[in-house]
Amino acid sequence: RKVKKEREMVFRLHPSFQSSRCKQSVQPREKLDDGKRKHKEHEVKAVAVSIVQALASGSTRARVVDLEEAREESHTKRHHADKQEHQELPRQDDRCKPPLAAAAWPIRRLPAQPATVRTAQAERAVPDEELAALAPVHVIRHALPRELADQLLVELLRESLDAWAASSWVVHGKEFTTPRTSAIYEFRELKGLGSTERATASSFPKSNVCSSTDVADGHGREESRARCEPSAALHRAATIMQTLVRERRPQTNWEPTLALGNRYENGRACVGWHSDFLNSLGPRPIIVGLSLGSCRRFCLRRTARDDESSPTHAEAMVASIPMPHNTAVIMWDDCQEEWQHSVPRQADSTIGKHPLAGHVRLSLTFRMSRPELARHQKSCHCGRPSALKSKAGRYYLACSPMGASKQCSFWEPCSWAQEEAERLRQRMKLEVLHALPLQGPAQAGCISPLGGPSPCPPHTTHKLYAGQENQTSTMSTGRPASAAGTDAISAMFFEVSDDDG
């Protein structure tokens, strides 16, 4: 009875058993002789047990991954068994061949492209350019020269094993550890150098000496992290990231001052939905993520704003971007405010392996810290620096769990950040107006997540403009933006808030 019960469960879980047409593919089992039938039942039981064990163990996410793996395994076994069975037995129904069941459940490695967008209605592939109009991100393939990307990968694969560390925190007396290791690289030595000087400087430190102490993140003291010295290759990469940003937004003064490295050992290593800590970055920061090694998904989802009636309105969507080796994603200033990002767990069999790194993925997120924000730092009830974050367009301070042995209930809105965010939105509007001839929303190039023109989302309008190659502006940075960098691009993407008119 137990075997029968488990078999029923496998049948329920396995889609190849769910189609009534395919039910016939299991009919021939009745004709098996006793020995074979027992063998078969034993096999089905083993699969059922692995699924039950997967369900019984671990967190919800672990269950999903384990279940996926168990399903893949069960599918492979089932497929081989079916194949054998059909060779031995006369086919009852030609329309229900085993390959049909196989096709229903393929084991798929994550392809390097394209990105996909999922809404309540459907999921579809979107080219990178279209994604930039749907979400405040820009995907750049082959971001670094190939040799530099490979050199950085080799360096960091070694260094991350030696010196990067997981962070931990305690909630209700229980200790949690990040399912990945990380470290901070600060580009101290380059402060004050222009980007051309940065690119050619030969005085960069060559050593990769790391100290794995629990040093808080600069002025913001956001998280406890290992700290490492950036190599010449990493400095070069930072300079290139800066160029990539400025080519797309010539008016920005963005200059990376630190990079946060993350090592994802396998499909279980992940980072859940979040927006980044903003203590040392300030409101509406630009953050650039560079992927090295294996190809994992980087996902984005929009969080509803306070003033939106329903979080499940039509524009709710999740974008999933495969990030193969040497792909960069620029998260523009809306991204930490109204969006969350994640690197979800994946079954190892779906990871796009890298010839050198295997399943390991490294990411570097380049950020610009602003020392002047230290004066805004406020302590929580535990006496530790509170964390500045934004959700759904609202800025707040809260007790940060990272590196702490306990948490307090401190939470309050952050008015200076809210006001500064508003000023930055206004400035962005001026930059757009300054850089471009006026265009009404009708010409703005809004694209619906499911394709075709659509009314623009109520709060964020992603506008596609023709290239403004010779545009020079001193408006936001107080210094002329380089026009040379923009010559190469044919189009620029800006997003401005509809609130700004």
Identify any residues that bridge with 290 across adjacent strands, giving them in sequence order: 328, 364
126, 238, 260, 446: which one contacts ligand AKG (CB under 6 A)?
Answer: 260
| Residue 223 interacting with Fe ion (CB under 5 A) | no
Q: Which residues of 79-88 are buried (b: 16+ CB within 10 A; e: fewer)?
A: bebbeebbee
Cis peptide before 256 (omega within 30 of 0): no
Amino acid at 490: S
Task: For the CB of residue 260, give the shortest distance to Fe ion in the complex, in Å.
Answer: 8
With 0-12 / 13-18 / 19 or more C-beta atoms within 10 angstroms meaning exposed / middle / buried, residue 238 is buried
| Residue 339 interacting with ligand AKG (CB under 6 A) | no
Task: For the CB of residue 228, give the shortest distance to ligand AKG in the complex, in Å.
Answer: 15
> Residue with CB nearest ligand AKG?
363
Supply φ then ψ for residue 40, to 5 degrees: -65, -45
> Residue with CB nearest Fe ion?
276
Task: For the CB of residue 59, give the shortest distance to ligand AKG in the complex, in Å.
Answer: 19
Q: What share of the chain is helix, strand, coil (3-state, %, to 5)?
A: 35, 25, 40
Q: CA distances (Å), 460 to each of 136, 395, 443, 497, in order? A: 9, 17, 15, 5
- In angstroms, the CA 132 to CA 329 distance is 10
Task: For the CB of residue 362, give the shortest distance to ligand AKG in the complex, in Å.
Answer: 8
From Fe ion, ligand AKG, none, interface partner of 260 (C-beta below 5 to 8 A by class): ligand AKG
- The helix (H) or strand (E) run that includes residue 251 is none
DSSP codes of every residue in 434-449: HHS----GGGS--B-T
- In angstroms, the CA 276 to CA 273 distance is 10
216, 244, 286, 343: which one contacts ligand AKG (CB under 6 A)?
Answer: 343
181, 231, 262, 390: which one contacts ligand AKG (CB under 6 A)?
Answer: 262
Cβ closest to ligand AKG, residue 246 vs residue 341: 341
Cβ closest to ligand AKG, residue 322 vs residue 385: 322
7, 249, 268, 341: which one contacts ligand AKG (CB under 6 A)?
Answer: 341
Comparing CA positions, the residue from 312, 329, 307 lying closest to residue 320 is 329
Cβ closest to ligand AKG, residue 208 vs residue 365: 365
Cβ closest to ligand AKG, residue 179 vs residue 485: 179
Cβ closest to Fe ion, residue 217 vs residue 276: 276
Task: For the CB of residue 263, give the shortest distance to Fe ion in the complex, in Å.
Answer: 14
Q: CA distances (Å), 148 to each of 190, 227, 248, 296, 421, in order? A: 19, 22, 22, 20, 36
Cβ closest to ligand AKG, residue 250 vs residue 344: 344
From ligand AKG, Fe ion, none, interface partner of 289 (C-beta below 5 to 8 A by class): ligand AKG
From ligand AKG, Fe ion, none, interface partner of 384 (C-beta below 5 to 8 A by class): none
Q: How long a stretch of residues is the chain?
A: 501
How is residue 312 written in tokens? 């499940």
x/- contact string, 292-331, with ligand AKG (CB under 6 A)? ------x---------------------------------
Task: For the CB of residue 354, give the shortest distance to ligand AKG in the complex, in Å.
Answer: 15
Subset of residues 359 to 418 that bind ligand AKG, contact rule: CB under 6 A: 363, 365
From ligand AKG, Fe ion, none, interface partner of 239 (C-beta below 5 to 8 A by class): none
| Residue 276 interacting with ligand AKG (CB under 6 A) | yes
Which residue's entry shows tokens 């979040």? Answer: 274
| Residue 289 interacting with ligand AKG (CB under 6 A) | yes
| Residue 267 interacting with ligand AKG (CB under 6 A) | no
- In angstroms, the CA 393 to CA 307 distance is 10
Q: What is the DSSP letter of 455?
A: P
Rg for the chain (alpha carbons), in Å? 26
Subset of residues 38 to 77 that bind Fe ion, contact rule: CB under 5 A: none
Question: CA 415, 256, 115 angle in degrees (round to 5)?
Answer: 90
Cβ closest to Fe ion, residue 281 vs residue 464: 281
How is residue 451 written in tokens? 């394709």
Task: For the CB of residue 301, give the shortest distance to ligand AKG in the complex, in Å.
Answer: 13
Supply φ then ψ for residue 91, to 5 degrees: -75, 135
6, 69, 229, 276: which one contacts Fe ion (CB under 5 A)?
Answer: 276
From Fe ion, ligand AKG, none, interface partner of 363 (C-beta below 5 to 8 A by class): ligand AKG
Identify any residues that bridge with 171 across adjacent strands, giving them in sequence order: 174
Give 482's contacts (C-beta < 8 A, 6+ positions apart): 246, 250
- List residues binding Fe ion (CB under 5 A): 276
Footprint of ligand AKG (CB under 6 A): 260, 262, 271, 276, 289, 298, 341, 343, 363, 365
